Chains A and B, each alone.
Chain A
Amino acid sequence: MEIKEVLKELLLEDKTLIHMPFGNGNCDFNKSIVLSWVFILVVFILILIFTHNMKVHNISKRQAAVEGFVLWIRGLAVGMLGEEGKDYATYIISVLVFLACSNVMGLFGVVPPTMDLNVTVALALVSIVMVEVAGIRSKGVKGWAKAFAQPMAVIAPMNVLELAIRPLSLCMRLFGNILGATVIMELLKHLIPVGFPVPFSLYFDIFDGLIQAYVFVFLTSLYIKEAVE
Chain B
Amino acid sequence: MLNVNLWNILWTVVNLLILYFLIKKFLFGRVDEILEKRRAEVEEASKAADEMIEEAKKAKAEYQQRIELADEEKEQILADIKKQGYDEYERIVGEARKKGEQIVTEARHNAEVENERAKEVYAAQLADMVVEAASKIAATKHSTAQDRELYDKFINEAGAGK
Which residues of the partner chain A approach B16 to less than 8 Å between Cβ atoms? 94-95, 98, 122-123, 126
A23-B7, A118-B4 are known contacts. Are A32 and B41 too (CB-CB below 8 A)? no
Cβ-neighbour of B23 out of A15, A33, A97 (below 8 A)? A97
Main SS of the interface on chain A? helix
Chain B residues in contact with chain A, CB under 8 A?
1-13, 15-16, 18-20, 22-24, 26-28, 30-35, 37-38, 41
A208 at interface (Cβ–Cβ under 8 A)? Answer: no
Known contacts A33-B15, A98-B16, A126-B16; A70 and B31 CB within 8 A of each other: yes
Task: Contacts A56-B34, A56-B38, A118-B12 given; indicate if A48 touches B7 (C-beta within 8 A).
Answer: no
Smallest distance from the beta carbon of B85 to chain A beta carbons, Å? 67
**23 sample A-B contacts, Cβ–Cβ < 8 Å, listed by A number:** A15-B3, A26-B7, A29-B11, A36-B12, A36-B15, A40-B15, A47-B22, A47-B23, A50-B27, A51-B30, A54-B30, A54-B31, A54-B34, A56-B34, A66-B27, A70-B31, A74-B28, A90-B28, A93-B23, A118-B8, A122-B16, A123-B12, A123-B16
Contact B4 A121 (CB under 8 A): yes
A33 touches B12 (CB 8 A): yes
Q: Mark A91-123, 1 if CB is under 8 A from B, else 0.
A: 101110110000000000000000011110111
